[in-house]
Structure 1
Amino acid sequence: MPGHVVLVVNAGSSSIKCSVYRVIEDARVAGGARAIHGAGGQIEGIGVAPRVVAHMADGRLIVDEKFPVAQVADHDAAFRLLRLVLAVGLRDTPPAAIGHRVVHGGAQYREAVLIDDQVIADLDALTPLAPLHQPHNLSAIRAVREAAPELPQVACFDTAFHASNGIMAQLFALPYRYYEEGVRRYGFHGLSYEYIAKHLHQVAPEIARGRLVVAHLGNGASLCAMHDGKSVETTMGLTALDGLPMGTRCGALDAGAVLWMMARGMDYHAIEKLLYQESGLKGLSGVSSDMRELLASDHEHARLAIDFYTYRIAQETGKLATVLGGLDGLVFTGGIGEHAAPIRAQVCERLAPLFGTRLDATANESGQDERVSTPDSRVPVFAMPTDEEGMIALHTARLLRATLAH
């Protein structure tokens, strides 16, 4: 099968996920290329309790093994091990390039880019805007440089999809010089939103061309308003703290609350830990950041956290529909958005008075169909899996082809 083999890397704070794709030309799909998943795996518990799990695309297990901490003490060692595991499992040609998910591209990087020393320096400077993600994204890039310096690397940005947003969607009401210095609303989860726009164009093109709100709901959560497949507005801002409440992040917060914390003697690191790691569903419930555990709990604060979560999703959907001038479709994606039927039901119940959203209870619960609304729902509702890694593979192969052409 012709095409380029691409290794996709998604590095978190204590885990690294890798996926192998073969990207082939296909004139039948948008963009003229298709990413075929070959194998995937992850190392979790890096430096604490390392465990490697990898599967072929058809579900066949390659490995499920625990390792001594000393053997997988850091991201460099983890990447080398995971790359070896996938290579053995595939018994195929080695990857022609490696694509990385990078959370923040700032104002400078509006599309995927080949990585060099300058790119790394620029992305490192953005670390204060994405302290939970950027250091680990860069750690994986540096680990690849050490392990396989000959391989081209591509950075694919969660912020890039929102680069089309107008200035009204980017501004804060601060002195304008701050906007010129890069203090603006960037938005995130762009790779997920880009995939949904592409996929919806294939399965429901008339809706894809319309006014759409997509809810990416996982441990991180945001909404994106799209028109004709392009981002118009989103709920996240300068950092991934803004907008909806998340697993452990607070979401939208009066800046005065931070000043109040400072006045009580909390320093930068204490406030950062509170807002990023101790808030959101975890902080409100006092039970867990995991929506599955909250839905199974009978604790009153678990119910409070769920109710606030769906309240804010519905509230922000209404705001985005106002920006769009109406609503032609609603899509749920991400781990919670795709799998948590009660969350979809509660959000749509809140939105029904304005948008006439009506779910088919059987379709919503079964997870068998992407369209989960009734035929008479005024706004069609979908629950769709996303594929950020597939988008990274496509961007990486495109840049590789362009490089080889020169």
Structure 2
Amino acid sequence: MSDILTLNSGSSSLKFALYPLDDARDLGALTPRYRGQFAGLGTATPGFQLHDAQGRPLDADPGPLPERLDHRDATTRLLAWIDAMPDLELAVVGHRVVHGGQRYHRPVVLTPAIVEELEALNSLAPLHQHFCLAPVARLAERHPELPQVACFDTAFHATQPDVARHFALPREFTARGLIRYGFHGLSYDYLTQVLPQHLGDAPRARVIVAHLGNGASLCAIHDGRSIASTMGFTAIEGLPMGTRSGSLDPGLVLHLIHEEGMSVEAVGDLLYKRSGLLGVSGISSDMRDLLASPAPEAREAIDLYTYRAVREIGSLAAALGGLDQLVFTAGIGEHAAPVREAICRGCEWLGLTLDDVANRRHARCISAAGSRVGAWVIPTDEERMIAWYSAGVIAEK
């Protein structure tokens, strides 16, 4: 049996899944044979987890994990485990690559020249791009005959009109690629594909998807196409996130540099790693910790998070010319009922009425009967999207 390996790299994790290639013609039928991840990469306590198709944990031994295990070495250990499994035979590897720049708007088979182009975009996604590409070289060393496919988070947003993508900067900067790209595209793409099976005959021309996790963004989707998003040139714009600040006055950055005497590197560390929920609360970047905390600082962080989400939903609803459906997804969106409640209450002016009982039990539909705007909780699956696209690219070849 031939299999698709998908790799989804974070700054300290390497998630993977293995799918049968024969099932990849139908996105809805794709079921992983295995899922797992290396966690805590780059730390003193890395770990390894493996689950079967039903999500049950499996015993697996990737060998003793050294401190500061990096993405390349984690890839080596993963490949050794796959090679030792008699029921696995890799046909293609699909990677989530955060940034495709202005050129790559659809999945592509990686070549050394393309990898070099993508590495040049590292500064646009400093928490992600380097780690997304780290396994590629190791795979090429171990299995040079194996095709590798890049699937881009920015690609879904390439349909946005210029007025939504351009900053009010001199035109020469726009021509050099200083535009709003948008991110979390694989998640939005997946949800757009599966929405019909969840919504049935409900209107879905104007949809806002709230991808709320440690990284968070919103996307306005009109007839299946991205027309606006909260993330822009980098993945720091928009909503407050776990450790990222979200949007702020550019003059504040200049103030930090000129008046506070901070270096560019220190400002980057502040905005990417010490702000957001962690910075406001001073407690944690994890929404679960904040919801469980009695500290007023935790409540302030949650209130700021939901307030900003409601404001951005209003902006995106304006871009759509109204709203038919609001969809929550990702870790916070799928599991934090109090956060969903606060956001939905703030959207009552749009015609959204929350069903409190359905929301507390994490039902698929959480809007009340008669609500003019539907509210939904739908799990995303970026790995499945990567597998589907990777199989399609190989079929074309």
Q: What is the CA–CA distance in structure 2 between the aligned matches of 1:214 and 1:55, rounded to whole Å? A: 28
Mapped to 1, the partners of 2:23 and 2:382 lie a distance apart of 19
Asked if structure 1 preserves the Cα contact closer than 8 Å seen for 2:212 and 2:329, the reply is yes
Contact 1:248 1:282 in 2 (8 A): yes
In 1: Cα distance, 2:98 partner to 2:202 partner: 28
TM-fit CA distance, 1:46: 2.4
Match of 1:170 among 161, 165, 171: 165
Q: In structure 1, what is the Cα distance between the partners aligned to 2:59 and 2:37?
A: 10
CA contact (8 A) 1:75 1:143 kept: no
**Residues 24 and 388 in structure 2, CA contact (< 8 A), matched pair in contact too:** no
Where 1:73 maps in the other structure, the secondary structure is coil
Correspondence for 1:60 among 56, 61, 72: 56
CA contact (8 A) 1:39 1:56 kept: yes
Q: Which residue of structure 1 aligns with residue 385 of structure 2?
A: 391
Specify the alignment match of 2:309 in structure 1: 313
Q: Quote the residue 2:194 is aligned against.
A: 199
209, 214, 219: which one pairs with 2:209? 214
For 1:375, the equivalent position in structure 2 comes to: 369
SS, match of residue 363 in structure 1: helix
Shift of 1:311: 0.4
Which whole-Å CA distance do the structure 2 matches of 1:244 and 1:38 have between them? 35
2: distance between equivalents of 1:139 and 1:208?
A: 42
Structure 1 residue 267 displacement after superposition: 1.1
Counterparts of 2:224 and 2:283 in 1: how far apart (Å)? 38
What residue number does 1:116 align with?
111
Distance 1:244 1:76, change over 3 A: same
Aligned residue among 278, 283, 297 for 1:282: 278
Corresponding residue number in structure 2 for 1:132? 127
TM-score for both structures, normalised by structure 1: 0.93
Per the TM alignment, residue 330 of structure 1 is displaced from its structure 2 partner at its CA by 0.3
* Partner residue in 2 for 1:146: 141
Q: What does residue range 222-233 of structure 1 map to in structure 2 within 5 Å?
A: 222-233=217-228
Shift of 1:23: 4.1
Q: Is the 8 A contact 2:100 2:152 kept in 1?
A: yes
Q: Is it true that 1:361 corresponds to 2:359 in the alignment?
A: no
Q: CA RMSD, aligned part only?
A: 1.9
Q: Unaligned stretches of 5+ in structure 2?
A: none
In the TM superposition, what is the alpha-carbon distance from 1:60 to its structure 2 partner? 3.4
Which of the numbers 237, 244, 249 marks the counterpart of 1:242?
Answer: 237
The residue aligned with 1:77 is 73
What are the ranges of 5 or more consecutive residues in structure 1 without an aligned counterpart?
none
Partner Cα distance (1:156, 1:186) in 2: 15
Residue in structure 2 matched with residue 22 of structure 1 by the alignment: 20
Give the Å deviation of 1:34: 3.9
Shift of 1:14: 1.9
Partner of 1:190: 185
C-alpha deviations, 1:224-266, integer Å up to 9, x for none? 0001111110000000000000000000011001100110221
Aligned residues: 395
How far has the Cα of 1:13 moved from its partner? 1.7
**AA in 2 matched with 1:110:** H
Deviation at 1:45, TM superposition (A): 2.0
Task: Please name the residue that 1:401 is paired with.
Answer: 395
User: Match of 1:77, SS?
Assistant: helix
Cα distance between partner residues in 1 of 2:176 and 2:92 = 33
Moved more, 17-26 or 4-13: 17-26
> Which one of 306, 330, 336 corresponds to residue 332 of structure 2?
336
Matched ranges for 1:343-354 at <5 A = 343-352=339-348, 354=349
Tell me, in whole angstroms, the C-alpha distance in 2 between the residues paired with 1:26 and 1:102.
Answer: 20
More deviation, 370-379/44-53: 44-53
After superposition, the Cα gap between the structure-2 partners of 1:67 and 1:268, relative to the gap in structure 1 and judged at 3 Å, is farther
Q: Deviations over 1:84-127 (max 9, x none)?
A: 335556x4231200000001111111111100011101111100
- Would the alpha carbon gap of residues 266 and 71 (structure 1) be closer, same or farther in structure 2, given more than 3 Å must change? closer
* 1:71 to partner: Cα distance: 7.8
Superposed displacement of residue 148, structure 1: 1.7
Structure 1 residue 189 displacement after superposition? 0.3
> What amino acid does structure 2 have at the position aligned with 1:370?
R
